[in-house]
Chains A and B, each alone.
Chain A
Amino acid sequence: MKGVVIRLGDDVDTDQIIAGRYLRTKDRTVWAEHAFEDLDPSLSSRLRGGVIVAGKNMGCGSSREQAAIALREAGVVAVVAESFARIFFRNAINRGIPLFEVLGGITCDEGDEINVSLERSCVEVDGHTYQALRLSDRMKEIIDAGGLIELRRRGV
């Protein structure tokens, strides 16, 4: 899968991904529209086709799954980070978003073209290949199905 790098820093919490004031709705487009609003109001318009490259502890804080849904709805291709907060990690997988945890992080700039491969657990950017931690077969099965809901709907 290919995308355009969107760079974020360390400790991006789920309140920053989608603020508490937007949570009470079933309309997912609201979450996509207001994603990262308090961090950078222009960011949500750049998410489609993007690969988020974050630092340490990506998605810390609240368990709100709307954070993962917002990214999926907004068309984020994958999320790469030096480390993930564990609830966001599960939520993103459950929403079918490929995740790549690369120890030590990766070197790239906003707007770079980036390739990610779940099958090979690797990230390629600017001529470098970075090995990501291998996801378990169960996690891959969930992502391949497009999320936990799809998997359960098929009776798995």
Chain B
Amino acid sequence: MRTLSETILKGDAGSFVDVTVDRALSHDGTGIQALTALKEMGMDRVLRPDRTSIVYDHIVPANNSVTADLQAELRRFAIDNGIDFHDIGEGICHQVMSEGIVTPGEIVVGADSHTCTMGAFGAFATGVGASDMASIWATGETWLKVPETINIRLEGKLPRYVEAKDVALRYVGLLGAGGANYKTIEFTGDNDLGMDDRLTISNMSVESGAKAGLFYADGVTCRYLRSYGKEVAPQKREDCSYMREESIRLDDMEPLLAVPHRVDDVRPVSDFEGVQLDQVFVGTCTNGRYGDLKRFADIVRGRKVKVRTIVVPASRTVLLKAMSTGIIRDIIESGAVLCNPGCGPCLGAHQGVLADGETGLSTANRNFKNRMGVGAKYYLSSPTTAAFSALRGEITSPGDMS
């Protein structure tokens, strides 16, 4: 009787296991640090290049010569080693991995904290730093402590204008920013959450400190991966014991915000109605998928945003689909600015950093003080709340705009 983490890692909670990594992921930011560490270890080759992915997403295209030089060095290394390399414009690493690369039951280790996103497929996916990544490049393996598991049952159906991001904010608020430290969260329950919803929900598990945030692969997972040419089997859930159990009734939920500067300070949007905004940002590994852009476009179509608005598709695939269905036109005609696929301003490095004293609303996963602009304030919300708020230039509850 095992939790999904125990099944995949082949060990009991609390034990240490040595594992072969099925997918080692890094990006332009952490990849160069891993390469430096690898060289310092006295090594220069990657053992399993086909299982190693490097995706350029954090500061793309390069913003200055220092960044460009670092990216050039890592690019040469990736190509020379035959690594699964995705250059600028392909998208955010977690989104690229979700487009038919990662499959259920795999062990995914990434040099990025939001590697937990891949838990949506029932893969054990967790973040590490650059030294660990260098060591994985060299040996194909790492050690992990098998985590205990918190079960969160998501039951029912979300009301109109309430979405996966609100669910993510709800459970992060419930557990607290460190409430799931060292633990896995298993999301179960009778609900109709799709693959994109699960990706949003798993993505934010690290914001509660979790090592992984897992959904069991089921028919939804199999159909989604089939559309990318991957045939996979559903995962069987065993009767297991959890260290904590929580339940969220989706039908009773309302649109939520994480308010400055804590991701676990979660309140109803309606309590902050009218807060003036200087910028709205829609994108990131949390909410830059096609469905997110579509819901945003459906609300702003034929209207004008009243505040600087930046939209960043999570991947080239997302952007191409958004172009073919016409929603990119709706977004641009609304007055929003479209940037290339990637992380955008999320990490505070480029493409829309806020000024001192400004207030932003973002669909990202972090509102740490100073992260997206020194002296700025950031609220986190769903793309739907972001759309209604962009049209008014102030925080606005989703609803009738007439």
Contact = CB atoms under 8 A, between A and B. Distances in A.
Interface of A: 10-11, 13, 15-16, 19-21, 23-26, 38, 56-57, 60-66, 68, 83-87, 90-91, 94-95, 136, 138, 147-149, 152-153
A152 B67 CA distance: 28
A26 B36 contact: yes
Given A16-B369, A90-B132, A65 B30 contact: yes
Interface in B288-304: none
B348 A63 contact: no
Interface in B94-125: 110-113
Contacts of B128: 63, 87, 90-91
Contacts, number: 122
B177 A24 contact: no
B44 to A, nearest CB: 13
A24 B369 contact: no
Contacts of A87: 113, 127-129
B277 to A, nearest CB: 22
Q: Which of A25, A83, A85 has the most CB of B within 10 A?
A: A85
Given A20-B348, A24-B59, A138-B16, A65 B131 contact: yes
B129 A60 contact: no
Interface in B346-397: 347-349, 366, 368-371, 374
B131 A149 contact: yes
B348 A148 contact: no
7 contacts: A10-B178, A13-B366, A24-B66, A25-B66, A61-B113, A85-B181, A87-B127
A60 B70 CA distance: 26
Q: Which of A13, A62, A84 has the most CB of B within 10 A?
A: A62
Nearest to B264: A11
Contacts of B368: 13, 15-16, 61
B66 A60 contact: no
Given A11-B177, A19-B348, A60-B178, A148 B143 contact: no
Contacts of B177: 11, 57, 60
B255 interface: no
B371 A20 contact: yes
Contacts of B211: 86
Nearest to B130: A65
B175 to A, nearest CB: 11
Nearest to B70: A24
Contacts of B370: 15-16, 19, 38
Given A11-B178, A138-B16, A85 B209 contact: yes
Given A24-B59, A138-B143, A148-B132, A83 B181 contact: yes
Given A20-B349, A21-B349, A63 B30 contact: yes
Contacts of B348: 15, 19-21
Contacts of A60: 177-178, 209
B347 A20 contact: yes
B113 A94 contact: no
A65 B33 contact: yes
B13 interface: no
Contacts of B110: 63
Contact of A148 (B111, B113, B135): B135
A38 B348 CA distance: 13
B161 interface: no
A24 B67 CA distance: 6
A91 B113 CA distance: 12
A87 B347 CA distance: 17
B135 A24 contact: no
Contacts of A13: 366, 368, 371
A24 B59 CA distance: 9
Contacts of A153: 40-42
Contact of B129 (A24, A57, A65): A65
A147 B41 CA distance: 11
A23 B29 contact: yes
Q: What 7 A-B pairs come out closest when comparing CB atoms?
A: A57-B178, A65-B129, A91-B129, A94-B131, A152-B41, A38-B370, A65-B130
A57 B209 contact: yes
Contacts of A56: 178
A86 B206 CA distance: 10
Nearest to B374: A38
B262 interface: yes
Contacts of A11: 177-178, 262
A90 B366 CA distance: 21
